[in-house]
Copies of this chain bind each other. A is one copy, B any other.
Amino acid sequence: MCRWLAYCGKPVRMDKVLYGPQHSLIEQSLHSQLGAETTNGDGFGIGWYGPDGTPGVFKSMEPAWNDRNLRDLSRHIESPLFIAHIRATSGTPVQQTNCHPFRHGKWLWAHNGVVHDFSAVKRDLVLAVDPSLYPSIEGSTDSEVLFFLALTLGLEDDPPAAVAHVIGLVEEIGHAHGVEFPFQGTIATTDGERLWAFRYSSEGHSRTLYYSSQYDTLREMYPDDERLLDFDEETRIVVSEPLGDLPGVWNEVPEASWGVVQPGQDELHPFRPAVLTHG
């Protein structure tokens, strides 16, 4: 139950994206406009890719809005791909191991939403995690369990299929425990080259998700905006809540969809949980 931002494109000093815009993500940590919670002060995290291809992660259990380390670090690190996340806990403890994005190898994962009645279904979900991955679960959130389920179910090979299987499993296990609408939320995940985003909820009324318009469109609309110089035609920003009020910048991802930002043509598709078959 949080807010997140994913940037993919021309290498940029991270503070320009995190702090620069009106209604920036960091400002949203204090006063979110659209979120289910208006304050996201239960810790934050940022994961970024650098020259060597493996992501760095910086996390804190303090609110993002006054965090001096985040301000300084983001001002001094340039990256072509990063995910930032601000947290409003739905009950699990405020601690670094519960902050997003989660990392495994070269993969990052962030989630805004909830597995409903998580304490009832947690054990069954965790049991479905590959035993060799199990010891790497460090925190206690639903979001991290979703990540390890995705890794178990093929994230590294086919992210959309893996996430479809994860949510199918969450729905199956949830329904078995009498949870009417087991999954709610948006997900961002990346291997450092491509960025996948998902919007889905069992009840068909999902948390919001937006992506930025193409650079040439923006350039045409705002020929004199100097901030656009930091970006180029390959740059896309995906956010749980729009930054700024400029018309034409943000496009809503439709209900029950997934998309991928990648070199070349980006894609947007309908999303449907995979139904598990039992022989």
Contact = CB atoms under 8 A, between A and B. Distances in A.
Interface stretch (A65-73, A236-244, A269-277): A65-73
Contacts of A63: 41-42, 63
B95 A72 contact: no
Interface string A7-51: 000000000000000000000001100000011011000001010
A242 to B, nearest CB: 21
Contact of A39 (B30, B42, B61, B138): B30
A230 to B, nearest CB: 14
Interface string A84-125: 000001001111110000000000000000000001101100
Interface residues of A, number: 44
A143 B218 CA distance: 47
Nearest to A41: B41
Nearest to A94: B66
A122 B135 contact: yes
A73 B56 CA distance: 7
A56 B75 contact: yes
B96 A76 contact: no
A68 B61 CA distance: 13
A66 B95 contact: no
Contacts of A60: 69
Contact of A93 (B38, B50, B138): B138
Nearest to A123: B134
Given A30-B39, A135-B122, A89 B66 contact: yes
B119 A96 contact: no
A199 interface: no
A50 B62 contact: no
A252 B36 CA distance: 33
A66 B42 contact: yes
Contacts of A120: 135
A93 B68 contact: yes
Interface of A: 30-31, 38-39, 41-42, 48, 50, 56-63, 65-66, 68-69, 72-73, 75-77, 89, 92-97, 119-120, 122-123, 127, 131, 134-135, 137-140
30 contacts: A30-B39, A30-B41, A38-B38, A39-B41, A41-B63, A41-B65, A42-B66, A50-B76, A56-B72, A57-B72, A58-B69, A58-B72, A58-B73, A59-B68, A60-B69, A66-B89, A68-B93, A69-B69, A73-B73, A76-B77, A92-B138, A93-B95, A95-B97, A120-B135, A122-B134, A123-B131, A123-B134, A123-B135, A138-B140, A139-B140
